Amino acid sequence: MGCSLAYHLAAQGRKPLVLERGRLGGGSTGRCAGGVRQQFSTAINVRLGQRAIELLGEFESVTGTDPQYRPIGYLLLATSQRQADNLARDVSLQRRLQVPVEVLGADDVGRLVPGLATHDVRAASLCPTDGLAGPNEVTTGYAAAAVRLGAQVEEGVEVVGIDLQGETVVGVRTDHGVVSSPEVVVCTGPQSRRLGEMAAITIPVDPLKRHVLLTEPFPGRPSHSPMTIDLATGLYFHPEGDGLLMGMGDPSQTFGDDLSVDWDFLPKVIEEGSRRLPPLQGASLRTVWAGLYEMTPDRQPLVGSVGARPGLWLACGFSGHGFMMAPPVGESLAAVMCGTAPRIDMSPFAPLRFSGGTLVPESVFI
Ligand SMILES: Cc1cc2nc3c(=O)[nH]c(=O)nc-3n(C[C@H](O)[C@H](O)[C@H](O)COP(=O)(O)OP(=O)(O)OC[C@H]3O[C@@H](n4cnc5c(N)ncnc54)[C@H](O)[C@@H]3O)c2cc1C
């Protein structure tokens, strides 16, 4: 997010400074699955997904880096009547916004994903232009392009304080010294609550651990299939190289920034995965890692200025969708910060919404 915003600010003639306490992409971005989709339940998220795909389409010509976008499609499976009704409602919103989404039955889905158990599938939606991109390529591509336009990127520099004059932000303190600036943007992913404390405000973002599993090759592995999501469990998988990449949320997971792998939870993912894709039963794991979602109370991001702290902006709390949202949110937030019209109105993400604004929660949360 920081690199996308820096690029889009620099493209408008600003000279932003990105401070990264570790290495670029070393936070949630480097641990994410790289998924980009337009199949959401809220208009703003559908529009952000559409714009993300447009921006990834022009990414190489604009930044010089191939973002590795692969439009393998996203397939959402509904197995209860309630999910099927929600899916139909979401599809009609997506179609109204010109997303090329199709509704499929169990037989179509079985042909699309060889080996999939479809006995309980009531309905499914497929958007063939959804897909996957490279988190490392997009992050470093934006950073390099931003630097060419005059931005500065400092790695290994940690922000340890936010300086205020009265209530107005005047800069940050780092472990390498003080930086004066009339504007500071918090885009520190799962650590954003901590940055809020530095400015004596509450940023309602909490870290939530999620695992990603990559299997070895196994007999019956679908070699070409969309990113497939079982809406009942949140289980998702797609072919990755000669293995299968998969994940699923743990409903008992509590907030915290521990990144160790919960080995006890993995058999549940395999069990659920084997129920949906029986050939998985014979698979062994190649690697597993954990990363942090950055959750807000309504699973929608916090993007915009903070009224109580003039000069302070937020771009955080993407609740597990921040990789795909970074290109369009960076673009529109940069426009707002530069006083020009944003391509996408992000007022539904206004940080102030929790103190009296309108909440529009996203329900297609994976
Ligand atoms: C397992 C998993 C799978 C996911 N899959 C997807 C997916 O398919 N699609 C999708 O869109 N999203 C996905 N996400 C979510 C996505 O990874 C995040 O929403 C996104 O990476 C957030 O980007 P960010 O730049 O806001 O945060 P980060 O990538 O975490 O970047 C924040 C940076 O701030 C730095 N930082 C923190 N505190 C300080 C400080 N005090 N001083 C200086 N620097 C600091 C950190 O080191 C970090 O590098 C997934 C996440 C996980 C964990």
Q: Report all structural domains of the chain as residue ranges with CATH numbers, in order of start.
A: 2-62+134-205+308-352 (3.50.50.60), 74-128+207-295 (3.30.9.10)
Say if residue 282's pLDDT is above 90: no
User: Quick one: pLDDT band at residue 356, thresholds 50, 70, 90?
Assistant: low
Cβ atoms of 337 and 315 within 8 Å: the answer is no
Cα gap 211→231, rounded to integer Å: 17
Nearest-CA residue for ligand 1 atom 46 is 27
CA 92, CA 36: separation in Å to the nearest integer?
20
Pocket test for ligand 1, best of 1, 17, 28 (most atoms within 8 A of CB): 28
Atom of ligand 1 nearest to the CA of 190: 30
Residue 358 has pLDDT above 80, yes or no: no
Residue-wise pLDDT tens digits, 69-127: 999 999 999 999 999 999 999 999 999 999 999 999 999 999 999 999 999 999 999 99
The rounded Å distance from CA 1 to ligand 1 centre is: 8
- What is the three-class DSSP state of 75? strand
Tokens standing for residue 352: 């102030």
How many angstroms separate the most distant Cα atoms in the chain?
65
Query: What is the pTM (predicted TM-score) of this model?
Result: 0.96
What's the average model confidence in pLDDT over 3-14?
98
Residue whose CA is at the smallest distance from ligand 1 atom 27? 189
Give the tens place of pLDDT for each residue, 212-229: 999 999 999 999 999 999
Cβ–Cβ under 8 Å, residues 208 and 293: yes
Q: What is the pLDDT of residue 353?
A: 84
Ligand 1 center–CA 272 separation, angstroms = 27
Mutation pick for ligand 1 pocket among 323, 324, 364 (CB with most ligand atoms within 8 Å):
323
Kindly state the tokens that stand for 202: 């509450």
Ligand 1 atom nearest to CA at 315: 26
Mean pLDDT of the region 311-316 = 98
pLDDT band at 307, cuts 50/70/90?
confident
d(C-alpha 114, C-alpha 231), whole Å: 19
Residue pLDDT, tens place only, 232-246: 999 999 999 999 999
pLDDT category at 57 given cuts 50, 70, 90 is very high
Over the chain, what is the mean pLDDT? 96
CA-CA distance, 343 to 322, in Å (whole number)? Answer: 18
Q: What is the 209 CA–ligand 1 centroid distance (Å)?
A: 12
Compute the average pLDDT of residues 170-178: 98
355 CA distance to ligand 1 centroid (A)? 25
Average the pLDDT over 18-43 and give the result: 97
How remote is the CA of residue 191 from the centroid of ligand 1, in Å? Answer: 9
Strand pairing report for 302-305 and 285-295: unpaired
